[in-house]
């Protein structure tokens, strides 16, 4: 149910077309809530049918022109209702953790290389987040909006920091495993 709320948030920040929303998801919102081009367009249609957004009037004939959308009062009310509602945290589901557990019973072939690949990917993501932080949140950006957006980015930085440290630790442990082959069958 969060995709419509992500779209409402993005449209309240700046009225946009579906294509512009897709690009914004790729550049920012998508770091923590991803959606495909098709999902965004499908959700725009639903939000418009529910009276939560509307297409802005076009200066040119609509045929072949991209529609830009803005949030209506009903959409703002829904976003405020959703923001104020209580939600429980979601349990962590990560295939790498499950694969490590499974490797304890079937052997570790391929796992070490993938741990290294994951470490590289998380290090790259961490570097990207840190670059965004330097670029978008220099000292003195103290508005409430800036501080809340920075808080979201800090969550990404802290998560990537956790994963890079954990993966480095996992690789150290991996190096010390007595054997990495398939366990003997009974």
pLDDT for res 61: 59
Evaluate if residue 70 carries a pLDDT over 60. yes
Residue 32's pLDDT is what? 81
State the average pLDDT over residues 84-98: 91
Whole-structure pTM value: 0.80
Indicate if the pLDDT at residue 185 is higher than 70. no
Mean pLDDT of 89-114: 91
Judge contact between 150 and 170, C-beta under 8 A.
no
pLDDT above 90 for 184: no
Binned at pLDDT 50, 70 and 90, residue 71 comes out as: very high
| Residue 186 pLDDT greater than 80, yes or no | no
| More confident of the two residues 58 and 48 | 48
183 pLDDT more than 80: no
Q: Could you write out the DSSP letters of every residue in 61-78? A: -STTSPPEEEE-HHHHHH
Helical residues (DSSP H) of 1-72, grouped into ranges: 2-13, 18-27, 37-49
Q: How far separated are the first and last CA of the chain, in Å rounded? A: 48
Please give the share of the chain, as a percent, with pLDDT higher than 70. 91
Please check whether residue 12 is in contact with residue 65, taking contact to mean a CB–CB distance below 8 angstroms.
no
CA–chain centroid gap for 42, Å, is 19
Percentages of the chain per state (helix, strand, coil), in multiples of 5: 65, 5, 30
Contact 8, 53 (CB under 8 A): yes
Q: Which residue has the higher pLDDT, 182 or 6?
A: 6
Q: What is the pLDDT of residue 26?
A: 82
Tokens representing residue 39 in the block: 């999902």
pLDDT digits (tens, 9 = 90+) for 16-56: 999 999 998 888 887 888 888 899 999 999 999 999 999 99
Average pLDDT, the chain: 89
């Amino acid at each position: 149910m969060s995709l419509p709320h992500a779209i409402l948030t993005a449209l309240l920040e700046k009225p946009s077309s579906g294509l512009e929303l897709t690009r914004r998801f790729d550049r920012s919102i998508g770091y923590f809530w991803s959606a495909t081009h098709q999902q965004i367009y499908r959700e725009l249609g639903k939000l418009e049918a529910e009276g939560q957004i509307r297409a802005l009037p076009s200066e040119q004939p609509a045929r072949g022109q991209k529609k830009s959308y803005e949030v209506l009062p009903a959409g703002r009310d829904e976003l405020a209702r959703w923001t104020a509602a209580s939600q429980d945290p979601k349990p962590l589901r990560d295939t790498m953790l499950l694969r490590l557990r499974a490797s304890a019973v079937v052997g570790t072939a391929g796992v070490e290389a993938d741990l290294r690949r994951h470490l590289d990917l998380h290090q790259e993501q961490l570097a990207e987040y840190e670059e965004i932080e330097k670029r978008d949140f220099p000292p003195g950006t103290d508005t409430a909006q800036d501080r809340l957006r920075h808080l979201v980015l800090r969550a990404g930085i802290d998560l990537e920091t956790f994963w890079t440290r954990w993966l480095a630790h996992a690789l150290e442990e991996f190096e010390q495993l007595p054997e990495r082959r398939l366990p003997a069958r009974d």
